[in-house]
Structure 1
Amino acid sequence: MPLGLALPQYGRFADPALTARIAAEAEAIGYDRLWTGDRLLVADDPLSPYPGAGGSAPESHKTFLDPLTLLAVAAGATGRARLGTSTLNALWQPPALLARTLTTIDLLSGGRLDVGIGLGWSEDEYRAVGVPWRGRAARLEETLDVLEAFWAGGPDVRHTGALWTVPPSTVLARPAQRPRPPVLLGGFSPAALERVGRRADGWLGVGLPLPALRGVRELVHGSARAAGRDPEALRLVVRVNPVITATPAPAEQVPQRGTVEQLTDYLATTVRELGAEPLIDLHHAAADPAEFLALAREFRTALATA
């Protein structure tokens, strides 16, 4: 099964040298996907409550390294595993510049980039970068249009939209993957899931109960069919950010909490029943780099035989 690992990036693990080391070792022990996330700040008096943990962002999020810079680091440390963002807040920068950065990472990695995009949840972060909080969905649609213009056409690039205008131009730097790197989208609203089926290569999800994941897949697949696309070609990435317990947690707490065995059973079930790609984030499970890597090895071994 394709298995993903969230690279060391935030909190006590915010160290680019550690990111490079874990990326190389994770690939060596069999991880197929390596991912980074995206957080800019933790507001002292937030306009938007954190979606979890009682509404307060984890203390570890106060130290958060740039996701795309770390993917460039990982590209140099690895040679096989795919590299992705889960998820990148793509609206924080102009899409023409984003297209150039992502093209560069795809070239650095020899065509191993997965572009995972979300809208985020923090109005404070949008204020900090000078991007309107309202109209995010329309901004995302046009962002995808601009990325397509830079990636999928010939070297002749142009775009005219409500937010951005790219004059007729020649751009010879193209991604290694043709026509473009895979684009996966996050989100849970009906409109977000409809967008996944209509124009993405898959959904970036989180650890939900299996019935909820089945419901999401049905909505995404229905949207894909309505758009004349093959629903079976769409990927489903399921990210878990667990707290590891020494004794079994109550079933209703899995996959947020549980033993390695409980979490392995949950992830293996998503693979068997939904064709999911598991993604494991160990930032809240490990106390130090040694435990981070030990847990990564334990999950890789357990899932290989599940």
Structure 2
Amino acid sequence: MSPYPGGDRSVLAQHETFLDPLVLLTVAAGVTRRARLGTSTLNALWQPPMLLARSLATIDQVSAGRLDVGLGLGWSRDEYQAVGTPWQGRGVRLEETLDLFDRIWAEDEVVRHDGALWTVPPSYVRLKPRQRPRPPVLLGGFGPATLARVGRRADGWLGVGLPLPVLAQAWEAVTGHAAKAGRDADALRLVLRVNPVFSADPVPDEQVPNRGTVRQLADYLSAAVESLGAEPLIDLHHTADDVEEFLDLARELHDLVRSRTA
């Protein structure tokens, strides 16, 4: 089994059961009206790009243009083996997937693609996303090639809870690559996902934001917003045992961060 990239390298119990994200986004689209909907992160290579592009365009249509497409490459060789996708060459495969998305979602009704990995004969594809020219595409990952790819062609980076100096260094690399590519670096988004485990008592600073009190996490997020323009995305399933606790923690954290950044 592939070791988990964090902690004691074992897979967390909370990660042993996940519902299909595209199905859940479709359900969420039907019961919300204003909230943005997205993934952090959807493994981009586990289904053919034509099918994934159609599913994402469908969600963007049924949600009236509220989809953020958050993509990553994953970390588990076992998962790649299970879905029949090669582990080697993931970056090249993602690049061509993004090429195909741009082609499929363009205004042209007839789509054609001749690539190293996929060939699409001339095909009518009239289903397009509601958002034009496409839904925002955000990419996760930390390697130099990934940060360069974000700067070259994505709409933002899906960062995670790192020490602020490390986070700032990675974000500087992204914006630097964007500037080199002739893009507007200021238009890129830094979406910062944190999966905290809350404690009753304060913990040493080096454990924040992965552990700590609600106030410690609020201080960290406020600093990330103010210094980097980050958009916090908080995942509480590591620390909340039921829906009520989840909502209570989310409300307390929201109010603290809002009071510091207003």
TM above 0.5, one fold? yes
Match of 2:15 in 1: 61
Match of 1:151 in 2: 105
CA distance in 2, matches of 1:53, 1:264: 22
- The Cα shift of 1:49 comes to 1.1
Match of 1:298 in 2: 252
Gaps of 5+ in 2: none
Which residue of 99, 107, 118 corresponds with 1:164?
118
Match of 1:40 in 2: none
Other structure's SS at 2:157 match: strand
Q: Does 1:216 align with 2:153?
A: no
- For 1:82-121, list aligned pairs within 5 A: 82-121=36-75
CA distance in 2, matches of 1:224, 1:294: 39
- Provide the TM-score with structure 1 as the length reference: 0.84
CA distance in 1, matches of 2:14, 2:162: 23
Q: Does 1:135 align with 2:92?
A: no
Which residue of 286, 290, 293 corresponds with 2:240?
286
Match of 2:204 in 1: 250
- Provide the TM-score with structure 2 as the length reference: 0.98
- The Cα shift of 1:270 comes to 0.3
Q: Deviations over 1:142-186 (max 9, x none)?
A: 000111111124212111101111111111111000010000001
Which residue of 100, 122, 128 corresponds with 1:174?
128
Q: Deviations over 1:43-77 (max 9, x none)?
A: xxx1x210112110101211111111111111111
Q: Deviations over 1:94-153 (max 9, x none)?
A: 000000000000011100000010000000000000000001000000000111111124
Gaps of 5+ in 1: 1-45
CA distance in 1, matches of 2:213, 2:91: 38
Superposition RMSD on alpha carbons, in Å? 0.8
Letter in 2 for 1:180: R
Match of 1:238 in 2: 192
Q: Does 1:207 align with 2:161?
A: yes
